[in-house]
Structure 1
Amino acid sequence: MEQIARVTGLTKEYRNKRGIRNIDLELRKGDIYGLLGPNGAGKSTLLKIMTGLIRPDKGTVALFGYNVDNEFENAMRKVGCMIESADFYDYVTASQYLKLVLNFYPEIGLERITEVLGYVGLSPYAGERIRHFSTGMKQKLALAAAVMPNPELVLLDEPTNGLDIEGIVLFRELVKRLSEEKGITFLISSHMIHELEQLCNRVGILQQGKLVQEGEVSELLSGSPSLEHYYIEQLRKAKEGNRDDQPASGNA
């Protein structure tokens, strides 16, 4: 299967000792890959490096065969992303905001705005100023912007934050449809384990900056009643392993 992204030996350590260490990750065409981990595990750091927002201390990221560090424009040409909370010009409308986004994609026509607003369920609010949007509506608008350029890879950081049940279901259906019909590859960081279990074909678990487990969801669940159960068990094992690696205390 065609390789879309390749992360090799990726390391980034901050002054507080958090970050990521020696991450190896591969995304294949059509994957919906879920990235799980507690707060501070390094999920956002990984996505920021993959989109060129920060540079790693070591390691490489290749998207569509191009190195993000020194071939950025070619690497990002087919990529859409939503990293952490989206920032907006609150005084413009949803349509006006997406028209601003289109300035980066001169080859795409204005009709795409209507199309993506329909994808995310914001068509009735196209002319409403963003300052009046709820958190969930802003998340939907950020998702619309992420898929605006007809990407082949979409990176999403906590995309369901602030969404109500209807919005979460719409998001799940949208991702599945884009993956099946357009062959789009998704990397999704989320705390919504039940949603990822229904949505993803592959998952990876980050713990203290390390990728402690990954694989096909169907295989990982072969011995577990749910992805949540499997996730908690893997975190427990990782914590026990870290304790075993600590030097014994005591007087010589």
Structure 2
Amino acid sequence: MKLSVVHINSQQGSESYTKLVNEVFDKYKRPDTEIVHRWAKLKRAADTVFGYPYALNAVDVVHNISEAGRDGVDGCMVACTGDPGVIEARTLVDVPVVGPWEASLHLASMYAYRFGVITVEDRAWAEVCHSLVAKSGLLGRCAGVQRIDIPSAEAFTDGFTNPEKVAAELDKQAHKLVDQGATAIVLGSAGLSTIASAAGYTQVSGLDVPVFDALVIGLKTLEMRVDLTSKGGLLPTSRAGYTKRFADKDADRVRSLFGL
């Protein structure tokens, strides 16, 4: 199967991160899975914690997924735990579209009665993670949200070459969440997820508590969703409500109105 993974940053400047993502994905993906990467236009990762650039970037993500669907991929995923544009993109393609955060939260709630979230140092993004837990209807199952103490600029530079350092910080925050009642940990950041997997961090030290890399969970969920559609005849998503299919000709018409 051919899957499209849409990143929320531009390709230029993301080379070391993309390399690490591929190394992690190669460990988990099926042998017959081909991954095609696409990139949005946003150049500064720091912009993603602000509402305005995040909203504009989400539109770019939607268009990337739409184009990938027209190019004939079997499924699409956005490589961001904010799941930007996922619901809207589902209205434009005839293949499954997965948000890794939604998939990870629901899987964690199957593994444990209460899960905890670890995310980046930025307070704004921690609030986004918390709001999406609420949107998923799982707030009562969430023991808390912990931010790492390493600034993002450091975590996402040194972390790609020295993932063990960041993994140690993740483990410190994970123990705090376990003390708050969490028995599973979800990583609320694509970058932190990739770093954790690169370091082999899948379980809280000294405890039988699983740690979920959101991108890996998203990828494996997408493979399953593609199988359910291609082999089982299941619809890629519900077409009875908000995700009713929006015709390609109408999507082109609307794009032209906005000069896109």
- Tell me if TM exceeds 0.5: no
Which one has more relative contact order, counting CA pairs under 8 Å at least 6 apart?
Answer: 1
Normalised by the shorter chain, which TM-score bucket? under 0.3
The structure that has the greater radius of gyration is: 1
Higher strand share: 1
